[in-house]
Structure 1
C-alpha cells in the first residue's frame, strides 16, 4: 500500500488559517507528524444539546421542587456544576435516591436563572437581581456565578453605597460558613475538612449557624478531625472540643464513643475531660454556677434542629 505525503501547512487555528477554516478550533501541541486539537465549539454544542434535553425532559432523572414549581434536571449535570449538588446526590445524603428533592432557601425565579447558567454558561445580571443571585449562587456553591456577581458589584460601587455593600458581603460570608459546616457535619469525609487548621476548625465549630441534628454531630466532627492524624493532633483535643456543648449530650453516649478509641493516651484524656463535665452536671449548685459562667453551653445552637433537652440528672 502506498503512503500519502502531506506537505507542510499551517494547522487550523494558527495564524495561517483562512476565513473558511473551522472556527473555535485551536492547536494545543504540535509537531511535524501530529497535532492535538481542542474544539471550544464542541463544548458549546454539547452544553446546548443538554439544555435542549432538559427543556424536553429527556433523560432527566430527578425533580427539584422550589415552592410551587418543579424543575426536571439531570443529576450528572448539576453535580458537575457545584459541590452542593454533588453532595446532595451522593450516597451519603438522604436525598440521593429520591425522585423529587425539595430545595429550601432559594426562590423559584432566581433558581431558574441559575439553572439556565448551569446548562448554557450565560446569565443576565441586573441591579435588581444581583443580590438574590449572589446569595443563592453562594448557597448552591456556583462559584462562577458568585464571581460574576462580584465583578458586577464592583462596577456599581460608589461612596454612597459602600457601607451597604460591606454589610451584604458580610452576610454572604456567614451563609458560606453555615453551608460549609452543614455539609461537613453531614458527610464529614472531605479532604478540605481534614485539612483545616486547628484554629479554623475551632472557629467554625463555635458557630451558632450550624445546621445540625444534635450536638453529638459537633463532637464527632471534632473527633474525626483529631483521629485523621491522631499522633500530631491529639495534643489539641481539649481546644478542639471546647466549642462542644457537652451539657446537651448524654454522658453514656460519649463514654461509649470513647471506649472505641484505640489510642490509649487520647482515651484517658477524653475520659478525664468528660468526667469534669459530668461531675459539674451531678451537683445542682455547681451546675447553676456553670450555667452562669457559660450560658451558651447550656442552650442549643440557633440553627440546630429543635429538640427538648433535659440538662442534668
Structure 2
C-alpha cells in the first residue's frame, strides 16, 4: 500500500486534513472581518498618526504581528502607552505605514520596486519578520547584473544574511555581465573589489576576464586606484593564464610597468609559465596560489557506457579548469550503454540504451545539484 493510499484509509489523517482546511478558512474569514472593521473604524482601540494621516487600528492585531507594537502597547515603564489612544510615528511615510498595517491584518504585502527600499527598513524597525522575508524574496526575484551589488549592500545594512548570500552568489555566478555592465561594480572600494576577484567561487571562463575586470575598475579613477595594481594582480590565478596573454597583455600594461611592486609578481609568473610550457605533462601544484583553480565554470558529465567489456552505471565528471576527472558516488541503479543524453537546466536525461541483454524504452533523470536519480515517463519504443 502506498503512502497516499495509507493516508486515504486513515480516519485520523482525514480528520487532520479537514481540520487544517477549516482552520485556514476560519483564519481567512477572521482576517477579512478584522480588516473590514478597521476600514470602517469599528472596535478600534488605538490610532497611529503619520504626518497628517491617522490610521485606526486594533492593538491586539498589531501586537500579534510585531514585537515592537507589542512592547509599545504593553509597556509598564512610566505612563502606560495602553492609555494613549493616538500614537505619533516619525521617520516613516504614510504609504509605507499603510502597507505595514495592511500586512498586520492580512499577512500579505504588495512589495514593488517603488516601495521596497522603504518597506524593508520599516519592517526591520517594527520587527515584522514575515514582511522582512517578503521584501527579501522580492529583491531576490529582481536580482540582475546591474543591481546585485547594491542589493547585497542593502541587505548588509539590515542584517538580512540570506539575501546578502544570494546577492553575493548572483554576483559571483554572473560576474562577466556584472563587471562589464554594472556601474555599482565601479563604485566598490579596494577591499570589496579584492574580495570579489580573489574568491574561489568567482565564475569566469578564463582568468583573462579577471584582468579585464580589475583594469575596468582602475580605469574608472586611475589617479587614485592604479596604486592598487600589485594587490589586485595577486587576485588573478596568473598561472592559469596563457603565456601569450601574460606576455602580450599583462606584463606590458601601463599600470603593471609603472609599479615596482609588480616586478617580483611578473618574474615569478614568467618562471612558472615557462616551466609549464617546457613540460606540459608536469603535474601542476594546486596549492600554489597562482595556479589554484576556482570553482569550475562548467563540468562535463559522463554517465554509463562500456567499461571492461560490459555496460556500467558509473558517473564521472571532468573539471575543464583543473584538468581533473572525478568519479561521483552517485551511480544509477542499473547499467546502460548506447543511450542518449541531454540536459535541461541542471537535470540530465538518460534516454533508452542497452544493458548487454535488453534494449530500453525507459528514461532516467539525474539532478546534478541535488544529486538525485529519478524515473521519467518512458518512450513508446525501445531505443
Q: TM-score band (shorter)?
A: 0.3 to 0.5
Higher relative strand content: 2
Relative contact order higher in (CA < 8 Å, ≥ 6 apart): 1
Higher relative helix content: 1
Which TM-score applies when normalising by structure 1?
0.44
